Amino acid sequence: MRTRVITAFIGGAAFLGLVAAGGWPFALMVLLLATIGFLEFARMDGRPVRRFDVVLALIGVWGLVATPLAAASPAWLRGVLTGLVFALFAVPVLTAGRIRVPDVAYLFFGACYIGMGFAAFLSARLEGLAGVLSVIACVWATDTGAYFAGRFWGRRKLWPAISPNKTVEGFFGGLVSSVAAAAVAQTVGGAFGSLPLAMAFGAAIGVVAPLGDLMESALKRAYGVKDSGRLLPGHGGVLDRFDSLLLVFPVVELLTAGLR
């Protein structure tokens, strides 16, 4: 527990400092996190990181993360995805079937999951500091509320086949905490536009954040690993820490686009 707290304190301070700084320091942090996260994803399936198809998919991740920096992101996104599909699909041909289509399909899925998630995170920061901090506050409030509600009142398992420690009571504790955090964030920073809208975003994040966590748990369970990596002592890897944010930011981006 001591190691976990120290890592959270130091890592959290460095993370928030770079989020506040914005600009190239923040963009480089996002690119580094996306790189490490994708390599963790490849290793879970036993892929050597120097293999040709892994390197190709990693280049695709970098392209996807960079799309918010382009003037016309949708065109960039189509170009990157098209290039990634054709490049990976050519690998089974170039290797005479030694690397199979299901192998490159796994990497394509990982490149989209991680690349688009971190791209949405970068895009949110480009929109402004208050908004990105408000979303992070809601995600962290969801995790904290779920932990304490589950610890004190947890009785019924939420999804024991995937994550045996999560409870229904913890889920609702996280949901209420997210709505409360969104209301506070709206009062302090006004990033959501209005209090009812803030509470609606808080409710959406309170549902999506644990779903992102469950998705990564299902992936780890499928490959029989406890953590995606060892970068963060007491916490696991990048994917273990950013699993919720990787789903929340794309969903918030979609909801925001729908309201415009």
> What pLDDT score does 78 carry?
86
Under 8 Å between Cβ of 145 and 176: yes
Average pLDDT on 100-111 reads: 93
Segment 34-68, tens digit of pLDDT? 999 999 999 998 888 888 899 999 999 999 999 98
Segment 180-213, tens digit of pLDDT? 999 999 999 888 989 999 999 999 999 999 999 9
Confidence band, pLDDT 50/70/90 cuts, at residue 25: very high
Task: Write the CB contacts of 58 (distance below 8 Å, at least 6 apart in sequence).
Answer: 35, 38, 39, 111
User: pTM, whole model, 2 decimals?
Assistant: 0.92
Pairing of β 157-159 and β 163-167 = antiparallel
Give the bridge partners for 157, in sequence order: 167
Q: Please provide the average confidence, as pLDDT, over all residues in the chain.
A: 91
Under 8 Å between Cβ of 125 and 184: no
Question: What are the structure tokens assigned to 249, written together?
Answer: 């930011």
Task: Write the CB contacts of 203 (distance below 8 Å, at least 6 apart in sequence).
Answer: 175, 178, 179
Residue 215 CA, distance from chain mean position: 11
Segment 158-171, tens digit of pLDDT? 888 888 889 999 99
- The closest of 8, 10, 248, 251 to 136, measured between CA atoms, is 248
Give the bridge partners for 163, in sequence order: 159
> What pLDDT score does 173 carry?
96
Under DSSP, the state recorded for 167 is E
Look at the chain and count its residues.
260
> What pLDDT score does 21 carry?
95
Give the bridge partners for 236, in sequence order: 232
Q: Does 233 score more than 80 pLDDT?
A: no
Question: What are the structure tokens assigned to 215, written together?
Answer: 């998705």
> What pLDDT score does 97 carry?
84
Under 8 Å between Cβ of 250 and 48: no
> φ, ψ for residue 97 (rounded to 5)?
85, 0
Q: Does 73 score more than 80 pLDDT?
A: no
Confidence band, pLDDT 50/70/90 cuts, at residue 1: low
| 120/227 Cα distance (integer angstroms) | 24
Q: Does 224 score more than 70 pLDDT?
A: yes
| 255/237 Cα distance (integer angstroms) | 29
Give the bridge partners for 121, in sequence order: none
* Rg (the chain; Cα; Å): 19
Under 8 Å between Cβ of 232 and 37: no
Residue reference for tokens 């949405």 = 120
| 30/215 Cα distance (integer angstroms) | 21
Q: Does 76 score more than 90 pLDDT?
A: no
**Residue 233 to residues 36, 207, 226, Cα–Cα distance (Å):** 15, 28, 13
